[in-house]
A and B are shown apart, each in its own frame.
Chain A
């Protein structure tokens, strides 16, 4: 069991150009870090439930990349290209996340792994070059998650909130 429990992520912060996501994982830092370093690990957890990945190439070294396709549960494919920009085992990984090798809209995320007793605190800080790119990424990931839902598709959100509130 994770100390925070499933479905109750640690508080996350948002600003105009960055998104910070934190999570406590009940495992030693080396082990958590290791889950980021090999494709046989990454392919077991990358993406929400129901997502799978097909890797074209993978090399966990600074300047090298993970070139893969992410398959959504609805059958949609997303090409992904991740370049590692910093690797400090078992403390930190920085990566550039785009859709292709020279994606001008790629954005950088820094993952930091901190020991918290016997557990590990992951912080993922993503900084977007502009607010527009941040909004675009949020939209894109929303589309990935919701199967092409858009902001104007209100009913789904309101329904979801009703359910969440009813459960909570």
Chain B
């Protein structure tokens, strides 16, 4: 991993989900809200460890929390995935892939022109 990744972790959703345990947390939260104790147990990590990951995920907008009685529940906020969404799909990818094909096609054209 790039040396700067650590510093950027808290500000960038891509870096936030580069961490395997944080991705596991997101996958667990897909089914609904959970308290940190629950997540820590399920992932076999300490509660402070899980809390640290949750804080990073919350800072990039992937996770939100709310108080429910005595405990705090963490839930997924899919809106935080928008940058990833746009990167993996959407307009930009459509065009990048079209330009891949354009590139290949123009190479064919170039060869055809050279033969003439």
Contacts and interface: CB of A to CB of B under 8 A. Distances in A.
A162 interface: yes
A18 B20 CA distance: 33
A6 B100 contact: yes
Contacts of A160: 88
Q: Which of A126, A144, A154 gathers most chain B CB within 10 Å?
A: A154
A25 B76 contact: no
A154 B79 CA distance: 10
B98 interface: yes
A48 B97 contact: yes
Interface residues on B, range: 35 or more
A75 interface: no
Interface string A23-47: 1011110011011000001001111
Contacts of A21: 92, 95-96, 99
A2 B30 CA distance: 40
Per DSSP, are chain B's interface residues mostly helix, strand or loop, or mixed? helix
Interface in B64-96: 76, 78-79, 81-82, 84-86, 88-96
A154 B94 contact: no
Nearest to B26: A158
Contacts of A26: 103, 107
B38 to A, nearest CB: 19
A49 interface: yes
B43 interface: no
Of B30, B79, B96, B110, most buried by chain A (CB within 10 Å of CB) is: B96
B23 A47 contact: no
Given A6-B103, A151-B82, A152-B78, A47 B89 contact: no
Given A49-B101, A154-B30, A124 B95 contact: yes
Interface string B48-59: 000000000000
A44 B105 CA distance: 7
Interface stretch (A58-66, A83-91, A134-142): A134-142
B51 to A, nearest CB: 21
Contacts of B103: 2, 6, 23, 25-26
A7 B113 CA distance: 26
8 contacts: A21-B95, A26-B107, A41-B105, A46-B98, A46-B101, A151-B79, A154-B30, A155-B30
